[in-house]
Amino acid sequence: MPAFAQVQPTTKTISGVMNRTHFDAVVVGTGPSGSGVATALAAEGWQVAIVESREFGGTCALRGCNPKKVYVNAAAVIDLVRRTTGKLIVGDGPQIDWSTLHHFKQEFTQPVIESKESSLGKKGIETIHGTAAFVDHQSLQVGQRRLSAGNIVVAAGAYPRPLNVAGEEHITLSDAFLDLPDLPAHVAFIGGGYVSMEFAHVVARSGRKVTVIEQNDRVLSGFDPELVESLTAYSRRCGIDFRFNTAVTGIERGSDDSRMVQFSDGECLQCGLVVHGAGRVPNIADMNLKAGQVDFQNDGIVVDRHLRSRSNPIVYAVGDCAATASPPLTPVANRDADVVIQNLVGDQPTATIAEGPVPKAAFTTPSIAAVGLSQREAEERGIDVLIRSGDMTQWGSIRKVGSPAAGYKLLIDRTSGLIVGAHLLGPAAEETINLFALAMKSGITIDQFQSVPFVFPTFASDAGSMS
């Protein structure tokens, strides 16, 4: 048993005077979950410090979800115009001007950069810039400052995983990609996950040549293979080229600032920009967790069902930094934050991670979404499922917007009639999937679900016709 096992998490400082070396809680990371924890504890009268190594606001607000959706919306507009020209409209149509798009994106990110830190400060939270690293089980070093705390919450998010290839310094990370005022004629993306596929669809609609490099035989491994195949075929028609079953072994920079990508099969690809889209890992590598006696693994800090470190009871982890079965998504991080808040302000940790499926979507154009089990997972669990699936491109709702790729697959437990998995591809799939998530969370059978009179004609009403 560690020598510090008898140390109990501090509730709150009795004195109302801020102690510059000791806090009731130190939060690492200023995204929604970290800021949420810090704000809630400060409202309870705790002395709280929050640490950030970059701009205050976190990945979702500054380098992820929100600015990305601005770019995705631009691609969706262009795609809709192109596939409906001669049907809904006539004429040459609009174009994406990357500089204009970048400037509009800053209308969402710049206010966060300018106000987030001061907003936290006004709530009585001490804001500290720098990288936090443990020096012992209850102390962190941030630059020249050493902070001790009764509780430490790690909410530092994730960062692009190292690729460990020659010339890696010539690869542009996804957050830097969002800050580019212009793009070259040819952009290559390493990896076929969310980041690559979402941005590839945007870049293709801007008139650039796009190549996605994936070491496996398909992209978007977390989604239904048949729907991904349909999306891939549509992506090709939209100008995206794919290099499957090959890995990047090196990047060389040319005298003209071009990039030469070398593949494991011996082939090469010349382009103007190479973007990292090959996955992210918990942002804990520089935290010296061993010194803090905090056990961790590749997918984050090892936590119990209360999101408390199994090896150091004063440390909690949320979101991408916690090794749980939940997907690394912003709603999950926010849910984790609520659990941690309840456990810290209570006499004893009692709140636990909520069970149940979490919907996910890749904001390609069109989007692909899923909730619950895949067909393979259902089979591995021995669930006798009824599979309802089909192509939707000739459905009236899809034809009215130019018939992009569209399809569905529902997995229904034959015994109970409950929906155990839902998989969608097509316009508004990222919205419609929420209906299935709610049905699954509420224990609604497929017959009950399909008896709901959804507003017609809408994409959501299509959900009631999937049979």
- CA 247 remoteness from chain centre: 23
Spatial contact of 391 and 407, defined as CB atoms under 8 Å apart: yes
Contact 185, 203 (CB under 8 A): no
Q: Is the distance from CB of 213 to CB of 264 less than 8 angstroms?
A: no
152 alpha carbon, distance to own chain's centre:
24
Residue 296: C-alpha distances to residues 303, 323, 447 (Å): 9, 8, 44
283: nearest Cα among 265, 300, 268, 269: 300
Q: What is the 3-state secondary structure (H, E, C) of 242-273?
A: EEECCCEEEEEECCCCCEEEEECCCCEEEECE
pLDDT per residue as tens, the chain (467 positions): 344 333 444 444 433 344 468 999 999 999 999 999 999 999 999 999 999 999 999 999 999 999 999 999 999 999 999 999 999 999 888 999 999 999 999 999 999 999 999 999 999 999 999 999 999 999 999 999 999 999 999 999 999 999 999 999 999 998 899 999 999 999 999 999 999 999 999 999 999 999 999 999 999 999 999 999 999 999 999 999 999 999 999 999 999 999 999 999 999 999 999 999 999 999 999 999 999 999 999 999 999 999 999 999 999 999 999 999 998 899 999 999 999 999 999 989 999 998 789 999 999 999 999 999 999 999 999 999 999 999 999 999 999 999 899 999 999 999 999 999 999 999 999 999 999 999 999 999 999 999 999 999 999 999 999 97
The dihedrals phi and psi of 281, each to the nearest 5 degrees, come to -130, 155
User: For position 20, what pLDDT does the model report?
Assistant: 62
User: What's the CA angle centered on 390, arms 239 and 243, to 5 degrees?
Assistant: 30
d(CA 73, CA 201): 11
Per-position b or e across 325-342, b if 16+ CB within 10 A of its CB: ebebbbebbbbbbbbbbe
Residue type, 69: K
Q: How far apart are the first and last CA of the chain?
A: 56
State residue 210's pLDDT score.
98
- Do 393 and 402 touch, CB atoms closer than 8 A? no
Around Cβ 161, how many Cβ atoms within 10 Å?
Answer: 14
Q: Do residues 193 and 277 make contact, with C-beta atoms less than 8 angstroms apart?
A: yes
Query: Are the C-beta atoms of 55 and 113 separated by less than 8 Å?
Result: yes
8 Å CB contact between 83 and 403: yes
Q: Residue 28 belongs to what H/E stretch?
A: strand 22-28
Question: Which pTM value belongs to this model?
Answer: 0.92
CA distance 249 to 261: 8
Token pair belonging to 246? 């090959």
Structure token pair of residue 304 = 């119990």
Q: How far is CA 329 from CA 65, 177, 322, in A?
A: 10, 20, 12
In DSSP terms, 413 is beta-bridged to: 385
How would you label 171-191 residue by residue, b for 16+ Cβ within 10 Å and e otherwise?
A: bbebbebbeeeebeebbbbbb
Confidence at residue 467, expressed as pLDDT on a 0 to 100 scale? 75
> How far apart (Å, rounded) are the C-alpha atoms in residues 250 and 232?
26
Distances (CA, A) of 51 to 41, 116, 424: 15, 13, 39
Domains and CATH numbers, the chain: 1-159+280-356 (3.50.50.60), 168-278 (3.50.50.60), 366-465 (3.30.390.30)
Say whether 95 sits in a helix, a strand or coil: coil
Encoded amino acid at 284, one letter: I
Taking Cα atoms as reference points, which of 46, 30, 22 lies closest to residue 140? 22
The CA distance from 402 to 393, in Å, is 9
